[in-house]
Amino acid sequence: MPDCKLMAHWVAGYPNREDSLASARALAQGGADYLEIQFPFSDPSADGPLIENAGRDALESGFRVSDGFAMVRELSQLGVPVFIMTYGSLVVAPGTAVFVAEAAKAGARGLVVPDLPPDHDEGLFLAGKKAGLAIVPVVAPEISEERLEIYRRLEPEWVYAALRLGITGSRTVLDQATLGYLERLGKLGGKLIAGFGVRQREQIDALSGQVHAVAVGSHFLECFQQKGGGDNLRQAAANLRVKGEKPGLSH
Amino acid sequence: MPDPNPNRKSGDFTPADYFGSYGGRFVGEALRPALDTLERELVSAWKDPAFQADLRVARDTFIGRPTPLLYAENASKALGGARIYIKMEGLAHTGAHKINNAVGQALLARRMGKKRLIAETGAGQHGLATAAAAARFNLECLVYMGAVDMARQRPNVFAMETMGARVVRVDSGSRTLKDAVNAALRDWSATFPDTHYIIGSALGPSPFPDMVHRFQAVVGEETQEQLRQAGRDATTLIACVGGGSNAIGFFSPFLDLPSPRLVGVEAGGRGPGPGDNAVRMTGPSRMGVAHGYKSRFLMDSDGQIGVTHSISAGLDYPGVGPELASLGESGRIEFTSATDTEALEALRFFARQEGVLFALESAHAGAVAIRQAPGLSPDQTLVVNMSGRGDKDLFITAKQLDRESWLEFLRSEVENA
């Protein structure tokens, strides 16, 4: 079976600074190939309820953007590429170039900002090129050919493919339309990370060979809330790795 | 009444993406097809005489246009300065200017073949206007409303439900208007093939700000014509500013002219402290990107949107429409604020003097009229937009203005229920 990498998502500062770092670490130890650390925003417009509420808890426990960069600095020592996901407000507030430089300095490999798309990016993609930080665009199923071409010209290293219309955390069914969409994205040239609704091994098996990696977020929060962090999260990540792959940090 | 501004009634209209450095379409790719389609359909509807005719009929027979321009003779004499006029926009159906936009967008949605309307609402006025338009034009309606707002605006929830709308309680974030906006945007990104999102103010991702401006411009166009008929040239126009849809509509035909002075009034709330008001344009706001657009927001240095306060739910919002932000920066619109207390005083003043009950939002504009009128002479004209009427605020104003007898009434209602 072809390999399909796992990008594990966690909300920085949830449920608090220490446990958030420990949780992300556990996901990496469980075999996640990439970590996606979301910096919570007060007004998220693309999160499902689990992630939104986790973000709210993190903000209520005092999360600051500087804490997020500190967390990324720690995690990037693990040898697993770390991506930051957040919203435009946090990126634009200090100045886009400043935020991007900070992210690169903290050791992040990439940055995902869904509400700063290429023609309304406040200089994000250019700043990423200058700082050597991969800006990962987020595309969605009904994207027009015209818009696809805009993305292709960015020559993205990774492309985040939303798998269905709407929010994170509800079920994804891989139908012909989805497969056709993923095929269309092939022309972008970047490595595809599929997300928004992935929670089961069967879904990941279905995506193997179609995409480079799958992003899983709400599922891990659910595991954490039901059974706690630590070993439980390690196991949850390990369960989603493709068969035949040994969980662990070496790859 | 003759066409006050025939050029704006039909024909070419290309909605602006940016107003100076503000505006834009800051949304995830999932919403792009919805917004791109909406823009195309809007441009085509605007040129379509049938669409314009439907809009005209709805304005005349459903909204109740034109709304009167009242010469506030008693108030003018009491203040001893400018000749004050009140644009009685609160006499529009459902009690506020919100209906102009809701009807316009509902007609557009119907033309686009949509079956379902969604809306966000704070005080409930925009939700109510959308519910009315949906019922009238045979569309399903779902209104997102923060749990906190539902609790304090229960009468509007009943009214929306009576008109067949489903009101969905939003329990995320601060559980107020901004969270309802987020919930509606999320719904729309999954449902746009059969659903139209009627945003309630001149903000959000393009083409919403300019589209809402166009649907509200009728308020200013009527005012301009009514002033002409009265033989008056306005010295000053005053409107309250939450998101800013009543202000941009009221000011619309005057924006490119050197006069009159245009004054926008923000909510001064309890005072200048952080979280105590919703003063964006003269307060410590920052340029930011949220809710799909770039503008001035009350936010911290990290970019987290702040908490706001105003006695009027309609002004209790952390951002300001991008066109107003730009016009504030250029100086064409002057911004000032009025506190909760000043708004209540203005409400009482115009009620006593003119028998007109302002909505709490509009009473902020009234307060600035009271402040500025004495400095003008009787041959100068000041027009204040009463964007809404005050019936909806009964539960807030009554306990502020006559607490004891109101509480006694509530107790007896409970006993008799």
Domain boundaries, chain B: 19-64+97-209, 69-94+216-401
Q: Does B182 touch chain A (CB under 8 A)?
A: yes
Q: What is the model's pLDDT at position B302?
A: 97
Does any CB of chain A come closer than 8 Å to the CB of residue B303? yes
ipTM above 0.85, yes or no: yes
Contact between A163 and A197 under an 8 Å Cβ cutoff? The reply is yes
CATH number for A5-240 (one of 3.40.140.10, 3.40.47.10, 3.30.365.10, 3.20.20.70): it is 3.20.20.70
Q: Over 60: is that where the pLDDT of A169 sits?
A: no
Q: Which residue has the higher pLDDT, A114 or A210?
A: A114
What's the average model confidence in pLDDT over A20-27? 97
Question: Is A43 in CB contact (< 8 Å) with chain B?
Answer: yes
Identify all chain B residues contacting A93, using CB atoms and an 8 Å cutoff.
286, 288, 299, 301-303
CA distance A227 to chain B (A): 23
Subunit contact B299:A89, Cβ cutoff 8 A: yes
Q: Cα separations (Å) of B397 from A142, B143, B348, B358, B405? A: 48, 25, 10, 11, 12
The shortest C-alpha distance from A65 to chain B (Å) reads 6
CA distances in angstroms from B29 to A8, A13, A141, B32, B275, listed in the order given: 22, 27, 9, 5, 33
The pLDDT of residue B399 is: 84
Length of chain B: 417
Q: Which portions of chain B are predicted below pLDDT 50? A: 1-9
CA distance A247 to chain B (A): 33
Residue of A nearest to B187 (CA): A166
The region that residue A244 occupies, defined by phi over 0 for left and psi between -120 and 50 for alpha, beta otherwise, is left
Note whether B169 contacts A: Cβ–Cβ < 8 A: no
Structure tokens at B97: 């200017």
Q: pLDDT higher for A164 or B263?
A: B263
Q: Pick from A42, A65, A140: which is nearest to B30 by CB?
A: A140
Nearest CA in chain B to A141: B30
Catalytic residues of A: 36, 47
Domain B19-64+97-209 identical in fold to domain B69-94+216-401: yes
Q: Residue window 127-156, chain B: list those with CB within 8 Å of chain A.
A: none
* B186 with A46: Cβ contact below 8 A: yes
Selecting from A41, A49, A52 the residue whose C-beta is nearest the C-beta of B304 gives A41
Interface mutation target, options B176, B302, B305, B317, chain A, most CBs of A under 10 Å? B302
Strand order across the beta sheet in which B293-297 lies: B18-19, B22-23, B293-297, B286-290
Residues of chain A by 3-state class (helix, strand, coil), percent to 5: 45, 15, 40
Buried b (16+ CB within 10 A) or exposed e, B169-203: bbebbbbbbbbbbbbbbbbbbebbeebbbbbbbbb
Contact A166 B186 (CB under 8 A): yes
Query: Cα B221 from chain centroid?
Result: 16
By Cβ distance, the residue of A49, A64, A115 closest to B26 is: A115
B180 to chain A, any CB pair closer than 8 A? The answer is no
Angle at B189 (CA atoms; ends B52, B125), nearest 5 degrees? 55
**For chains A and B, what is the number of CB pairs under 8 angstroms?**
119
Cis amide leading into B207 (omega within 30): yes
Supply the pLDDT for residue A2.
55
Q: Quick one: pLDDT band at residue A224, thresholds 50, 70, 90?
A: very high
Percent of chain A with pLDDT over 90: 73
DSSP string for residues in B160-187: HHHTTPEEEEE-STTSSHHHHHHHHHHH
- Tell me how close the Cα of B251 comes to any Cα of chain A, in angstroms: 28
What's the CATH class of domain B19-64+97-209? alpha beta
CB contact set of A6 (below 8 Å; sequence gap of 6+): A31, A32, A33, A34, A204, A213, A214, A216, A237, A240, A241
In chain A, what residues touch B36 (CB-CB under 8 Å)?
Answer: 144
Q: Is B301 touching A (CB cutoff 8 A)? A: yes
B338-394 per-position pLDDT tens digit: 999 999 999 999 999 999 999 999 999 999 999 999 999 999 999 999 999 998 888
Query: Within its chain, how far is the Cα of B202 from the centroid?
Result: 8
Distance CA B323, CA B330 (A): 11
Q: How far apart are CA A237 and CA A8, in angstroms?
A: 8
Catalytic residues of B: 98, 120, 387
Residue A168 pLDDT class (50, 70, 90 cuts): very low
**Is residue A159 scored above 80 in pLDDT?**
yes
Partners of residue A55 in chain B, C-beta under 8 Å? none
Using CA atoms, how far apart are residues B52 and B10, in angstroms rounded to an integer? 7
Does the pLDDT at position A65 exceed 60?
Answer: yes
pLDDT above 90 (res A240)? no
Answer whether A115 sits within 8 Å of B27, measured CB to CB: yes
Strand B83-87 relative to strand B116-121, pairing: unpaired
Interface mutation target, options A115, A124, A147, chain B, most CBs of B under 10 Å: A115
Minimal C-alpha gap between A116 and chain B (Å): 6
Distance from CA of B290 to the nearest CA of A (A): 6
Q: Residue A190 pLDDT more than 90?
A: yes
* A43 vs B30, B302, B305: nearest CB: B305
Q: In whole angstroms, how large is the CA radius of gyration of chain B? A: 20
Residues B237, A202: Cα–Cα separation, whole Å: 63
Judged by CB atoms closer than 8 Å, whether chains meet at B303 and A115 is answered as: no
**Min Cα separation B179/chain A (Å):** 7
Chain A residue at shortest CA distance from B172: A53
Mean pLDDT, residues A131-148: 94
Q: Do B186 and A45 touch (CB under 8 A)?
A: yes
Q: Which of B220, B189, B186 is nearest to B202 (CA)?
A: B220
User: Which one of B24, B28, B290 has the shortest CB-CB distance to A89?
Assistant: B290
B69-94+216-401 architecture in CATH? 3-Layer(aba) Sandwich (3.40)
